[in-house]
Chains A and B, each alone.
Chain A
Amino acid sequence: MTNRTTRRHFLKVAGAAMAAPYIVPGSALGANGWLQPSERINLGFIGIGNMGGGHLNGFVGNSRVQVVAVCDVKRDKRDGAKARVERQYAEQMKQGSYRGCDAYNAYEDLLARDDIDAVVIAVPDHWHAIIAIAACQAGKDVYCEKPLSLTVREAREMERAARRYGTVFQTGSQQRSSANFRFACELVQNGRIGELQTVNVGIGDPSHEKFFPEEPVPDGIDWDRWLGPAPWQPYNSERCSGSYSGGWRRVRDYSGGMTTDWGAHHFDIAQWGMGMDGNGPVEILAPEVSPHEALTYRYASGVTMIRGGANGVLFTGTEGKVEVNRGYLRTWPESLEETKLGPNEIHLYESPGHHADWLNCIRSRKRPICDVAIGASSVIVCHLGNIAYWTKRKIQWDPKREMIIGDDTASRWLDRPKRAPWRLHRERGCVS
């Protein structure tokens, strides 16, 4: 492990620098416009699939951070990520090689490193809560991909853990960092479309039980660890594929399907526009029992939210409408698009970018734009939608006590048993 100069390591060795010669590369000392190592945030990446790989590409070129470790249960992914990081840093240092990024199969080994300040978690959904809570317990700040959790209870436990340990926890619902979405929500919250009546949300289908034939486990995949807390199933390449057209996102044991995957974006924006962060609907109707023949939410305010009928999210008020999606904003009347808010109106959190906001908050210890509590209340809306889908009925929900009222079977979906030895609260280093 040559040429590793990490922030905490730098602090430790600084005191000893007079006693022993210590050579660090120029860029590590802050040349070429890079921060001093004592100011850089050391990052570890847990999960290097589609999303994790994207985050890695974004962060490895960011001078505010140093990627020091990667972790994946697929050997080719972690080795590829390690090589990618080291190649990039070698190029930045303008020297032939760099060795400073370690690769792990087990996330516990990565979290056990004291020199890592923060972690980016981009594993399949059934792993989010266990790893994120362990990271909080290990004193790391967390960027966790959306949807925040697999179950309602997990979401709340993640929030509790983050608060308990003072974690700066960004949920990866990055649409909150986009000006278009913020503007649309500000229009709604400031009454520029009148009294809000309905919200239409364009998302895909829920996950289901999936039935795959058994295949031999390929070399280089730790299949038991990929399954982790989920019920044991034989290996199948589709089961653990990150493909959006199929893969684990469609399987109920690992994901809530597009209800949570895209719901964590568009329901999240709907919640933001309604000013319902930390709150939620009171009734959720499956398509079979909804007058709209689509998944329907009713809020105590009288607002109805319906799945479908929108390019992204469509807010309809008594005096206008606003529809928003990525790269798209439309208002009725059109003049609403030119709205400028005054000082006495509601101005929503303005994020400089989802990654940048997280890094800023790691420094300032403020809560980021999509703090874990926001991620939790948004994903709970998604989970409730799935529970309605799966039970095919109307669910009554108490958003304050976070309880389903009068429906024992539906309530059992609020959490799921985990395969041993996995549980939500495991101290790092105590691998069974």
Chain B
Amino acid sequence: MTRRTLVLLLLALSTLSAACAMAARPGNEVATPTMAIEETMDIDDLVAQLSGRTAMSETVSQDVAAAYRQVIAGLTPGIAAADPVAREAPQKDFHAICMHASRPGAESERRALCDVLGGHLLEDAPEEAHAWFLRQVALIGREESVATLAKTLAGHNSRLSELSRRALERNPDPSAGRVLVAALRKSSKPEWRVALINALAARRDAFALPEILKLARFSAAAPASVRTASIAALGDLGGDDARDALFELWKSDSDPARGDIANALLRMADRLRDRERTEDARTIYTRLLAANGRGTHGFAALRGIADCGGDAAVGPIADAFDEGEATRRRMAIRLAGSVSGGKMTDALIAKLSNATVPEQALLLDVLAGRPGDKVRNAILGGLESAEPDVRHAALRALGQRPDGDNALIIVLHGAMNPGTDRKVARETTARMSGKHIDGIFLGAVAATEDSAACVELIHALSVRRHEPAVATLERTVADDRPKVRAACFDALAEFRRESSLAPVIDALLRETDGGARSRAEACIVTITARLEDPESVTRDLLAPRFESATGATRASLLGIMGSVKGPAALSHVRKAVGDDDPAVVEGAVRALAGWEDPIVYPDLLAVATSSDHPLHKVLALRGAVDCLRRPSEQTDAEKFAKLEKLLGLAERDEEKKLVLGALAGVRDVNALVLAQGFMGSNLENEAAGATTAIARMLLAEHEAVAASALRSVMSAAVAESTKTDARRALELLDQHRTFIGTWLSSPSYSREGYRGGRLFDTELAPEVDAAAVTWRPLSTKGQNNPWIFDLKQLAPGDHQVAYARCTIDAPSTMEALLLIGSDDGVKAWLNDELVHSNKVRRGLTPREDAVPVTLRQGANRLVLKISQVNGDWRFCCAVETPDKKPIEGIRFRGE
């Protein structure tokens, strides 16, 4: 027997004896608890069996009622515990038992449990237990529970009465409804009557109608709350009597509950309509509409009539087009869309002539899906409107009529109307369904002489992904109209066929129009990017044509090579840097500047250092700076040295600003000093920005230098936003003075089949032989908070662990707190002693785990193990006095 069972059973003695006494009452058919169960089972076992967690033993299954009695007696003291938190386990256990007993196919168990529960509900059990039992009966009780619930409903404890009411509301047996009706007759308290009426309305017991009808009738003495609840209940109960009663009440214009009556009637009518009693529903809607044509309820009635079908709704809806405020008129137009038939269509078309602009747009949208030439003509009329919104609506409406003529009209409209009309026309043709439309477009490309129309057709073919158009487009790149050629290049870029490369490159070599040439270049780059071997394009297509090309075209080819990249392209570009033609050199330098790889840094530096051509020099310098801004294997010190050199080469402020901007990403004290050197110059704003950014990165490692630099920014005459950044960085420093800012980390560890939790429990290399592990500095680069370390820099992915270590230099032996935040679990060793272990899945909350430790004077080795289940993987740690104050003289080292 477990300790918990023993305690519960001791506490349960009085309840158990009461249960036995109850079971022994005459007329109670429940058997008394058998000694067999009492002697052989403890409560935990019973809970496990009765909730289905373990198989039911033969002993229990032979007398399940006795088992329920025993488990209830055992759990009751806990269920009724004074401390709500202590109730949780026994209440959940009992709830699980109830859920299991009520499973389909186990009616005898459910019945037995409800019978036992019924007995307990009639006892003088603690209120909390009563309440919990009632909540369970509400879920599983049926006819056997009604009599008991009737008694608790009528009791003097309002909490238990309310729980009984809820249980009766959910009980499927009709007798539950009769109990509620009887209680309603007896009750005089308005709040309680409302509760009972609401319960009856939810049950929808027809026999409740007479009692509720009485309460729904207006009486000056009757509380409004009871009456409105009754009216609402009539709407739920339904039926002819309820309907007639509601209409009778409706006659009084001054009735304060008129809105409730209308709502009730509408709900009643909607339900009739849903049950396909359309005529009954329509009668209610029609009467309501007649009585309240313009209000919210009148409109709801109109909607109901429309939903019932037929032409009856046409007149009232058409009338509503012109009535009330704008929203109401728009609602009427939208509603008209749900009514089919020629009459409604005619009414909608007629409305177009006197509608506002938003209404016209709405009407065209509603008309779009309706059949007939009249509708099409109305839509075409919309294209002539002076109002863009109306034209756009007409275009979209026409797009919903998938017909070749309509498609061509949309394309031509777009060709003739640049701007938003063209944009809408393009969107519309892109989605217009119908495969035959593509053939019509393709035929029209060859036939049309209008350049703008041809461009729109080509665009439509590309966005509609009409693959058979490619051959035509490859021929059309030789068209004598530059805009058409440019459109072909764009379209072929969309289709991305390798076979298009040769004709496009040849077209590029012939191209005389600057705009078309740049589109051809973009097309070649786009198609090449998709190839498995992009270098083949340089080798087989670009290089053979390079020597015979003219200067401007060579520059184009170099630009393409700059995008394609690869050794062959780089070789060509490097060679071209020494060309005699400045245009070719410019193309080569531009290609290098956009290379996006530090490999070209020496080439760019050479041009920036030695070129006599100002433009080439500037392009090279900018490209070189760009190389250093990109992520690479270079250390911050190496980047700093290169940027310092480039700064010396920069002649204009524009380039100096660029270098300062790049310097802002270098986490190096020298970079900070260099940036600060420009404070007070005409580049002060850029210098301050760089200073702030670098200082923020150095806050944890070089607190004093960084803080001094930030204070200098705050006192300078620079942009307010920069000062704000500096101030926030200093505030961050203030909040984290006690945090460890430098750590070394192990590699990450994962094992096949091991999840994060198992790795947490597994002794890995740093726990076995830390000296054999390669420890590297952890970076907080890119982190908003330099005291929070992201371990994903070690390895992405889930289910792994890593270790971090640092040295704490304490000024004396002292008690201290480690305040650790981790995502997910964390273990901590101080001087090789495990001081903390928290196996948990959580997000990072700084200072979440407070770990009391003793620091010895001098160096203390702290090691953390942080597990990763999924999502983020981060940690941070502060060291403070036991009352969470900073420790004077403490130092942290990443060693």
Contact = CB atoms under 8 A, between A and B. Distances in A.
Interface of A: 8, 11, 117, 137-139, 160, 163-166, 208-209, 211-214, 231-232, 340, 342-344, 347, 362-366, 390-393, 406-409, 412-413, 415, 417-423, 425-430, 432
A232 B158 CA distance: 11
A351 to B, nearest CB: 15
Interface stretch (B262-270, B682-690, B717-725): B262-270
Contacts of B85: 211-213
A364 B327 CA distance: 9
Given A211-B87, A420-B191, A429-B259, A164 B303 contact: yes
B712 interface: no
A249 to B, nearest CB: 16
A220 B198 CA distance: 30
Nearest to A408: B172
Contacts of A418: 198
Given A232-B159, A432-B225, A392 B99 contact: yes
B91 A420 contact: no
A264 B198 CA distance: 29
B431 A347 contact: yes
A423 B465 contact: no
* Interface residue SS majority, chain B: helix
B267 A343 contact: no
Give the one of A164, A406, A422 with max B CB within 10 A. A164
10 closest cross-chain pairs (CB), A and B: A420-B195, A432-B225, A409-B102, A365-B334, A417-B166, A427-B259, A427-B260, A139-B296, A211-B88, A211-B84
A392 B100 contact: yes
B162 A232 contact: yes
13 contacts: A11-B325, A166-B331, A209-B95, A231-B163, A342-B465, A343-B434, A343-B437, A391-B99, A391-B103, A409-B139, A421-B191, A425-B235, A426-B232
Contact of B225 (A117, A163, A232, A421): A421
A392 B97 CA distance: 11
B243 interface: no
Contacts of B191: 420-421, 432
Given A211-B84, A340-B465, A432-B191, A423 B303 contact: no
Given A214-B84, A364-B334, 17 more contacts: A117-B327, A139-B296, A164-B303, A165-B299, A232-B159, A232-B162, A343-B433, A343-B437, A362-B327, A393-B99, A406-B104, A412-B139, A423-B229, A423-B232, A427-B259, A432-B225, A432-B229
Given A421-B225, A425-B232, A166 B300 contact: yes
Give the one of B190, B228, B335 with max A CB within 10 A. B228
A138 B83 CA distance: 44
Nearest to B871: A311
Contacts of B270: 160, 164
B92 interface: yes
Give the one of B83, B300, B303 with max A CB within 10 A. B300
Nearest to B227: A430
A343 B430 contact: yes
B194 A209 contact: no
A344 B434 contact: yes
A340 B493 CA distance: 13
B295 to A, nearest CB: 8
A12 B786 CA distance: 58
A163 B271 CA distance: 13
Interface string B416-436: 000000000000011111110
Contacts of B83: 213
B543 interface: no
Contacts of B104: 406-407
B431 A343 contact: yes
Interface string B287-298: 000000000100
Interface string B345-375: 0000000000000100110010000000000
Given A213-B85, A365-B331, A393 B228 contact: no
Give the one of B87, B429, B465 with max A CB within 10 A. B465
B228 A427 contact: yes
Nearest to A413: B139
B142 A137 contact: no
A166 B299 contact: yes
Contacts of A421: 191, 194-195, 198, 225, 229
B330 interface: yes
Give the one of A392, A421, A427 with max B CB within 10 A. A427
B334 to A, nearest CB: 4
A426 B165 CA distance: 20
B126 interface: no
Contacts of B361: 364
Contacts of A412: 138-139, 170
Nearest to A12: B325
A74 B84 CA distance: 25
Contacts of B199: 417
Nearest to A390: B99
Given A420-B191, A427-B228, A432-B191, A212 B172 contact: no
Given A392-B100, A427-B257, A164 B225 contact: no
A430 B260 contact: yes
B877 interface: no
Contacts of B225: 421, 430, 432
A137 B235 CA distance: 14
Nearest to B110: A409
Contacts of A139: 296
A432 B163 CA distance: 21
B162 A165 contact: no
Give the one of A163, A422, A432 with max B CB within 10 A. A432
Contacts of A390: 99
A423 B162 contact: no
A164 B266 contact: yes
B887 interface: no
B96 A392 contact: yes
Contacts of A232: 159, 162
B216 interface: no
Given A344-B435, A363-B358, A415 B330 contact: no
A208 B96 CA distance: 12
A330 to B, nearest CB: 13
A364 B228 contact: no
B333 interface: yes
Give the one of A208, A343, A406, A421 with max B CB within 10 A. A343
Contacts of B169: 417
B751 to A, nearest CB: 20
Contact of B330 (A208, A214, A364, A423): A364
B153 to A, nearest CB: 13
A415 B138 CA distance: 12
Contacts of A340: 463, 465, 494
Contacts of B272: none
Interface string B537-554: 000000000000000000
Nearest to A367: B334
A430 B330 contact: no
Contacts of A138: 296
Contact of A408 (B52, B142, B264): B142
Given A164-B270, A166-B331, A166-B335, A415 B224 contact: no
B201 interface: yes
B464 interface: yes
Contacts of B465: 340, 342-343
A362 B84 CA distance: 47
B257 A211 contact: no
B257 A430 contact: yes
A373 to B, nearest CB: 14
A94 B135 CA distance: 58
Contacts of B95: 209
